[in-house]
Structure 1
């Protein structure tokens, strides 16, 4: 999905369409790996007409176009697109955008397990194979580095609230209050408390509306890995070898040079 309503993937009719599919192949748009389905409909995606009161939630992965167009306003949409691939109407309409970034190492681990259990995703290969592809930016949605840095730079020119997964884990109330301020909304304390409770990882992990357990096993096989696996900060330590960590750190230092963007790899 490139632009979708936040609840679009819960639509069972859509699942019936996808249930006969095999693992997707990748194409490219402006050098960024995307699914062939996305590439085939790119003209329509690029021409998507945003509305001034649209809210776009963006993230790198493991972070329904027609359905999005049919939604009544105000619409909440989500995307994994790099900033340069966002349809221009979002900028023209000065839409508010919330971007959520996660540290590169944990993102890699989570993305690998998501590829394993989501049988529509490209075949991940072994952990070692996927590690190399991720570092090289040869995975679906492209380079993590380009993605997070591109959105970071864009926040100075557009109405973008840039949040960090690690901050949300550390202090969800503080980060939710940032969102409310950004959206210019006020909530009663009991409503805020309920949001904080319902968005805790362990609560969401048991919620069929969030954990994707309602999906057919032909699409998401939770016996391989649950969709909501750990949600931890620092789980990369259980996967990276010493050699991989050294290689990653060297590559990370080079690719993140010159940016003020910083991440915490553990809490």
Structure 2
């Protein structure tokens, strides 16, 4: 039995969030965004760190040394993150010390994003990842991260995911929320699977959205530096600076596989059938082109 104290969940407007976030919700809600700020939004374990690194590389024109100036969570703070034992990071407090333009990470569903982002007309990049790979990654992350509630067995965790009882709530509602608003707000919607399939094309798409003109050689360089293998070896991108008291690396790596289709190694045929049935029901009203394999 693990004796370390694990995180617990509370709720904000019906969405389950870590209790430490719930306690300082007013601070998050009242955050003042500037129109130059960029928001990177994802459901947990959807390639967030990868997208952050791609964006930082584009903004720094592929300058590898500049992108190693600090760990990811310092360069691009996680707005709703609240301090916990061993991790004294408070997203809003770090952001308040930074001058715009800031790159800001969030896992919040669109309805919980602080209103100032929309009032300021900020650009948002949203990355979606197929839910089967997402839940597998989330399961292994929850085994490792002491800030997360105890995940239980794979079967129990999968049931919680399907019941929208994990931190940040329903995957289905999350991806649909940003998809439906992508034309009315300045949202670039990208897919994890597209990035894996053709990173060159997707890096170019993101650069155009950020209004950055890059040479072909700079783009090639960014693609190489943001490969999973390269990021896994980069201490400023692989979360190796987080203490072992918070990340139990004997359970799992933070950067585990980064693949498309690893879900096939976890789902039983029966689990897959039940999951597929729910997926088609819940996504019927919003046909997002999610791919489970490439």
TM norm structure 1: 0.90
**Aligned equivalent of 1:55:** 38
User: Are 2:265 and 1:233 aligned?
Assistant: no
The superposition leaves residues 69-114 of structure 1 with CA deviations (integer Å, 9 ceiling, x where unpaired) of: 2111211000000000000000000000000000000000000000
Of 80, 83, 102, the residue aligned with 2:107 is 80
**Aligned equivalent of 2:24:** 41
Of 80, 93, 98, the residue aligned with 2:120 is 93
**Aligned equivalent of 2:177:** 150
Tell me how large the CA RMSD over aligned residues is.
1.0
Task: State the alpha-carbon separation in 2 of the partners of residues 191 and 70 from structure 1.
Answer: 30
**Aligned equivalent of 1:119:** 146
1:109/1:236 contact within 8 Å kept: yes
The superposition leaves residues 164-201 of structure 1 with CA deviations (integer Å, 9 ceiling, x where unpaired) of: 00000000010010111101111122222221111001
- Per-residue deviation, 1:213: 2.0
1:115/1:123 contact within 8 Å kept: yes
Task: State the alpha-carbon separation in 1 of the partners of residues 153 and 268 from structure 2.
Answer: 14
User: Are 2:11 and 1:28 aligned?
Assistant: yes
User: Are 2:248 and 1:265 aligned?
Assistant: no
The superposition leaves residues 32-51 of structure 1 with CA deviations (integer Å, 9 ceiling, x where unpaired) of: 00011111111111111000
Secondary structure of the corresponding residue to residue 56 of structure 1: strand
Task: State the alpha-carbon separation in 2 of the partners of residues 194 and 73 from structure 1.
Answer: 26
User: Are 2:232 and 1:249 aligned?
Assistant: no
Instruction: Give the structure, 1 or 2, with the largest relative contact order (CA under 8 Å, sep 6 or more).
Output: 2
- Per-residue deviation, 1:243: 0.7
Task: State the alpha-carbon separation in 1 of the partners of residues 205 and 130 from structure 2.
Answer: 20
Task: State the alpha-carbon separation in 2 of the partners of residues 142 and 70 from structure 1.
Answer: 30
Secondary structure of the corresponding residue to residue 209 of structure 1: coil
Task: State the alpha-carbon separation in 2 of the partners of residues 202 and 113 from structure 1.
Answer: 19
**Aligned equivalent of 2:197:** 170
Secondary structure of the corresponding residue to residue 22 of structure 1: coil
Of 151, 162, 172, the residue aligned with 1:135 is 162
Task: State the alpha-carbon separation in 2 of the partners of residues 250 and 121 from structure 1.
Answer: 28
More deviation in 216-225 or 108-117? 216-225
Unaligned runs of 5+ in 2: 47-90
TM norm structure 2: 0.82
The number of residue pairs the alignment matches comes to: 247
